Amino acid sequence: MYHGVISATLEFLDTDFLIVGAGVAGLRAAIELAVSGSVLVVAKDSLRESSSEYAQGGVAVALSDDDEVELHEADTLAAGDGLCDREAVRTLVEEGPAAIEQLMAWGTEFDREGSKLLFAREGAHSRSRVLHAHGDSTGREMAHSLYRKAASFESVRFLSFSSMVDLMIHDGRVTGAFALDSHGDRLVGIRARAVLLATGGLGRVYAETTNPDVATGDGVAAAWRAGAVISDLEFVQFHPTALHLENAPRFLLSEALRGEGAHLLNSKGERFMQRYHALAELAPRDVVSRCIVEEMHREGSPHVYLDLSNRGPAFVRKRFPRIYETCLAYGLDLDKQAAPVHPAAHYAMGGVWTTLDTRTSVPGLYAAGEVACTGVHGANRLASNSLLEGLVFGARAGRAMADAEAAHEGAQPAWSAPQSSEDAIRSLAWRHCGILRDAAGLRQAIETLEEMPVDTSAPITRAHCELRSMHTVAWMIALCAEARKESRGAHRRTDHPRTLPEYARHSRVSLEHPEVAFV
């Protein structure tokens, strides 16, 4: 039974299809499902607060005259460090061009020079294939146009300012979800034929992150409690260049800045990346993040610097207006000054395991976007593939869910919250499950999290729900990272520095089988 002050106010809603999350993946699925029945999209915060909204860099797609899907496929496989699912990658790059053209037909405006689309080049891409909107607001532009399209259907409704408490289960099948209403004083059971998790990322598990406050891993944690298989959660991508100013958020300074010629400088004002990698600033993200950490340790400095002043006056203001204005608000003029930067948790390659049509291991439950693990990203995501993944697999989710069976009411699951603070969990994850890891730190994280007492009488609030999610996800990251005794992609073990062929497999863990297996 649920405990707490709101347990007596449980109410029920009914819909054919429930989508938890209002980013690119969730909105694209809603559009696809609109002709198949009633659709309810539940956003944890406002409809403008999602990871998609914060995606500055762009969307990668093989649409330019000198590009091919085979080249996009090869670049994605190379970045994934031997762990990408080839069929999933092929699906992404082959279905991507038509998905982007459809998005443009719905009103999305990507940057152009005259009538010709502008393509930028980013780290680890062999071609210029990254589309941008308004310079550095690509995710926002895509999400807004998808929302306008979804909202044009009478069958699609939106419920904002709600927090998912748990999934609803009946006879081993997901039949809906429990959520808090906008005021946080009423528990609502939403019954549905099929549920899509499109909840985004888990970056708020870490003390340093570029993610919005809503990215607390709720979808992964809820899927785990429902018995779903979780895969590759040890692979967390740390963006190399988050703004590192006192009293400023860890605002992401896009990969595209380095693609446009930005240099990384140490505390002495010297470029250093060429000492670590042949591609210098254009090396893959995981490489750049580790090199920055090594340079910081070598120099004894709290950050390094990202400098684009070499591009001349007003370049950043015109090319990256959102980044420029945000930094200027904190007293930093990127056209004249180098920005202090530090790596921060940015993207989860792993998540809820799914098939190519987004089905999880639990009937009635689907997942798409960052919360899912299709195998597209392998051990390290290729820059700007995430928005394309949300678009392609969001559409696939809609098609797969359309034939779901009728729903049945599910029982209320047990409720408890860890007796800890959010800061304690985030600090623990950053220290022991961050860019550099070892067995001792990972084991300490696992033991500390497992020994945290729980409170079964805690009120059901958004804060407690998020704390429970972060606790579960941090524990799973540590568990999977400890089991993978090698270094691969974004997972770097200082005590196991080599990449080993026997670990060219995916980690899998579930509530029923909590011991990590590799398949």
The set of catalytic residues is 285
**How many angstroms separate the CA atoms of 52 and 21, rounded?**
10
Cα separation, 442 vs 424, in Å, equals 15
Helices (H) and strands (E) counted in the chain, each on its own, are 13, 25
DSSP secondary structure, 181-246, as one string: -TTSS-EEEEE-SEEEE-----GGGSSSBSS-TT-S-HHHHHHHHTT--EE-TT-EEEEEEEE--T
Q: What is the DSSP letter of 406?
A: P
Q: How far apart are CA 135 and CA 58, in angstroms?
A: 9
Backbone angles phi, psi at 304, to 5 degrees: -115, -170
**Sequence-distant (≥ 6) Cβ neighbours of residue 280 within 8 angstroms:** 271, 273, 274
Q: Terminal CA-to-CA distance of the chain, rounded, Å?
A: 36
Ordered strands of the 194-197 beta sheet? 156-159, 39-42, 17-20, 194-197, 365-367
Which class for 101: exposed (0-12), middle (13-18), buried (19 or more C-beta within 10 A)? Answer: exposed
Count the Cβ atoms, other than its own, within 10 Å of residue 90: 18
User: Can you say whether residue 101 is alpha, beta or left, with left for phi > 0 and alpha for psi between -120 and 50 degrees?
Assistant: alpha
Partners of 40 in the beta sheet?
18, 157
